[in-house]
Amino acid sequence: MNSKELRKAWIDFYERNGHVNIGAASLIGDGTTGVLFNVAGMQPLMPYLLGKQHPMGKRLCNIQGCIRTNDIESVGDSSHVTFFEMMGSWSLGDYFKEERTKWTYELLTDVFELPIERLATTVFEGDETAPRDEETAKLKEMVGFLPENIFYLPKSENWWELDRGPCGPDSEIFYITDTKPCGPNCTPACDCGHYVEIGNDVFMQYEKVADDKYVLLSKKNVDTGWGFERILAFLNETGDVYLTDLFKNAIEILEEASGKRYKEEEKSTISMRIIADHIRTSVMLLGDTNHLVPSNVGAGYILRRLIRRAVRHARNLNISTKVFEELAINFIDNVYGEFYPNLVQSKDFILAELNKEISKFEKTINLGMKEFDKVILRLSDKGLNTIDGESSFKLYDTYGFPIELTQELAEDKGFTVDMNGFEEKFREHQEKSRTVDTGKFKGGLESAGEMETKYHTATHLLNAALKRVIGPEVHQRGSNITAERMRFDFSCDHKLSEEEKKKTEDLVNEWIKQDLKVSYETMSKNDALKSGAECMFIEKYPDEVKVYSIGDVSKELCGGPHVEHTGVLGHFKIKKEESSSAGVRRIKAILTEE
C-alpha cells in the first residue's frame, strides 16, 4: 500500500461506517491550548469534544498534519519525524469502547492486513483519577488480540491530555518489530525499539480544568489518532519511514547530490534523514494556510532552527544547499500537493522564503564555525568543557546560531553549554536594546511575551480603526494572538473593500506614529459601561475591571497587559481579510519593523 492508497483506505473505512471527512486544519496552534503547533488531530476539535455540537455530525474523520517539536532531537533514527500526519476519527458522544475496539481490530487485520502476532495493545491500569479499564482489555481479547500482547500500564503511559481540556484513559497500539526485546520485563512502555507505537484510541470522558483536577464530561467521546508514516512503513515492511514513498525521492536526491548511499554509514544516513525531515516540515509550515516565516520568536524560531539545522547537515554531507529547493519542489509537486492545495498555491512563496533563510544563515555559518572552533580550543586549553554564556551568545547574536545548534555542536565535542549564562547575556542585551536604539538588531531578541503584548495593543487600535472606517456598529467577536501574528474577528456584514482595508491600515499606522500613551484606570463594571468604553464579554470579568485608553482614540475594558506607548509597535500590516462566520469577518495582521 503506498501513501495515497493508505489515505484512501482510512477515509473509505470511516465513511463506510458513517463518518464525515472534515479535512485538515492549520498546523499552527491557534493559541487556545498553550502549544505553538497543532500536536494532535483532536486539537482543532476541542470545543466539540467538550460538548459543542459539530456541524458535520457526531462521527468525524480526517488526516491531520501535526508538528511535535519535542521530537526534533530524536530525528535521525528510522521512525522519528517532526511533521507527521495523524489519521483520525472521532465519536462525539456517539459510539464508545465496543465499536472502537471492533473497528481497531478490523482496520489492523482486514484493511491493513497486519499479522496479529505483530500487534500489541495497552490499556489504563487505573488510579485515583479513573478506574482500571478492564472493559477495553476484555473487548480487545474478544475481538482477537493475543492475551499475552495486552498490557495494563499506568497514567504516565496510558492517558491522553493536553494542558487543559478534554482527556481520558487511552488504549495504544504497537507494532512488534524484529528488534530484540531489551529483557524479560520489556513492555510497550519501553523505548528499546521492540514495540513501536502506531496508534492511540482515547476514551475521552473527562475535562482537565486545573492541574490534577478532572471533571466528568456530559458525553463520552472517542478520539482516535493513528500514525500515518509509521503505519505506512510497517505496511511496506520497510521498518523505516524514510524508505516509504513519502521520502523515497527526497532520499534519492540526497544520495545523488552526496554520492553516498542511504544506510551506507550511520553519520551520513542521519544527516540525510534530518535534512529530508526538516525541509519537509519547513515546506509544510511556510505553505501553511497561516504562512509561518522564520523569526527569533515562538513558532517562527522553530522554523528557523529547522532550516538552519538542515544547512548544517548539508555541510556534513558535503552538499550544496541548492539541493534544498529541489527537495522542496519534490515534496510540493510529487508528494503533498494533491492533498494540500495550499502548498501548490504558495509554491513561489515557500521557495523564496526558504532560500532567503538559507542565504541569511550561509552568509555567516563559515565564520560562525570558525568562531565555534576557536571557543572550543580556548576552553580546552584551560581544561574546561563548558561553553560560557558570552561565547554562546556571540554565536547566536553575531553568527545566527540558534542556541540549540550550539548545544548540539558542543555535544559532538563532549562539551556542554552554560544555559543560565546564555540566558543572562540574552536578557542583558534585551535591556540594552530597549533603552538604546541599537540599529544592528531591533526586534530580533524580543521574547514571545513582548510580541504578544504589542499585538494586544494593536488589537485595540485595529478595533478603533474599524469603527471609524466601517461604522460604530463594528464590535469585536473574538481575537487570537501569537508571538507571530494577530487574528481579529469582528461584526460586519460585508467583505472589506481594498479601500476600506487600506484606510484601516493607514489609520492604525498613523496612531502608531503618533506614539500615543497607553494607560488604564481601575473601576467597577457599571462605571466602565457608563464611561463609554468598549465592553465586550463583560460577563467574563470580575466586578472590578481595568479600562485601557490609547490616547483618545480607543477606550476598552481589558485585562492587559499592553505596551506603554504605541510607537514601539513598528508597522502594522493586514495580511488577510476573510469571512469567519455569518456576519463576522476576520482580519489577520502582523507587525513588522519597518
Q: In the complex with ligand SER, which residue's Cβ is closer, 41 or 402?
A: 41
Choice from 22, 27, 35, 40 touching ligand SER (CB under 6 A): 40
Q: Is 28 in the site for ligand SER (CB under 6 A)?
A: no
Q: In the complex with ligand SER, which residue's Cβ is closer, 171 or 269?
A: 171
Rounded least distance, CB 227 to ligand SER, Å: 9
- For 205-231, b where at least 16 C-beta lie within 10 A, e where not — what string? bbbbeeeeebeebebbbbbbbbbbbbb
CA 270 to chain centre: 23
Q: Is 553 helix (H, G, I), strand (E, B) or coil?
A: coil
> Which is it for the CA torsion 395, 400, 404, 407, positive or negative?
negative
Q: Of 48-87, which residues contact ligand SER (CB under 6 A)?
A: none
The footprint of ligand SER on this chain (CB under 6 A) covers a number of residues equal to 10
CA distance 297 to 272: 27
Rounded least distance, CB 166 to ligand SER, Å: 9
Residue 530: CB atoms within 10 A of its CB come to: 10
Choice from 33, 78, 121, 200 touching ligand SER (CB under 6 A): 200
Q: In the complex with ligand SER, which residue's Cβ is closer, 222 or 274?
A: 222
Q: Of 158-177, which residues contact ligand SER (CB under 6 A)?
A: 160
Rounded least distance, CB 44 to ligand SER, Å: 12
Q: Is 45 in the site for ligand SER (CB under 6 A)?
A: no
Answer yes or no: are the C-beta atoms of 158 and 189 closer than 8 Å: no
Rounded least distance, CB 105 to ligand SER, Å: 17
Task: Indicate the residue whose CB is closest to ligand SER.
Answer: 225
Q: In the complex with ligand SER, which residue's Cβ is closer, 66 or 314?
A: 66
Q: Which cell goes with 455? A: 499585538
Choice from 85, 133, 207, 223 touching ligand SER (CB under 6 A): 223
Q: In the complex with ligand SER, which residue's Cβ is closer, 99 or 423?
A: 99
Q: In the complex with ligand SER, which residue's Cβ is closer, 33 or 200?
A: 200
Answer yes or no: are the C-beta atoms of 125 and 82 closer than 8 Å: no
Q: Of 121-160, which residues contact ligand SER (CB under 6 A)?
A: 160
Nearest to 464 by CA among 422, 408, 504: 504
Tell me the window of 37-45, 151-159, 359-367, 475-483 that interacts with ligand SER (CB under 6 A).
Answer: 37-45
Tell me the window of 34-42, 232-240, 403-411, 530-538 that interacts with ligand SER (CB under 6 A).
Answer: 34-42
Name, in order, each residue with C-beta under 8 angstroms of 365's C-beta and a sequence gap of 6 or more: 311, 312, 315, 399, 400
Q: Is 42 in the site for ligand SER (CB under 6 A)?
A: yes
Q: Is 202 in the site for ligand SER (CB under 6 A)?
A: yes
CA distance 363 to 351: 18
Q: In the complex with ligand SER, which residue's Cβ is closer, 27 or 512?
A: 27
Binding mask 83-112 for ligand SER (x = CB under 6 A): -----x------------------------
Rounded least distance, CB 365 to ligand SER, Å: 36
Choice from 29, 93, 188, 225 touching ligand SER (CB under 6 A): 225
Rounded least distance, CB 231 to ligand SER, Å: 13
Q: CA distances (Å), 7 to each of 59, 64, 287, 436, 571, in order?
A: 18, 11, 21, 55, 43
> Which is it for the CA torsion 70, 74, 80, 81, positive or negative?
positive
Place of cell 465592553: 535
CA distance 217 to 200: 20
Tell me the window of 35-43, 67-75, 474-482, 562-570 that interacts with ligand SER (CB under 6 A).
Answer: 35-43
Answer yes or no: are the C-beta atoms of 162 and 194 closer than 8 Å: no
Q: CA distances (Å), 589 to each of 309, 462, 480, 533, in order?
A: 29, 10, 11, 24
CA 296 to chain centre: 16
CA distance 68 to 343: 20
Tell me the window of 213-221, 223-231, 427-435, 438-446 that interacts with ligand SER (CB under 6 A).
Answer: 223-231
Q: In the complex with ligand SER, which residue's Cβ is closer, 157 or 404?
A: 157
Contact positions toward ligand SER, by CB under 6 A? 40-42, 88, 160, 200, 202, 223-225
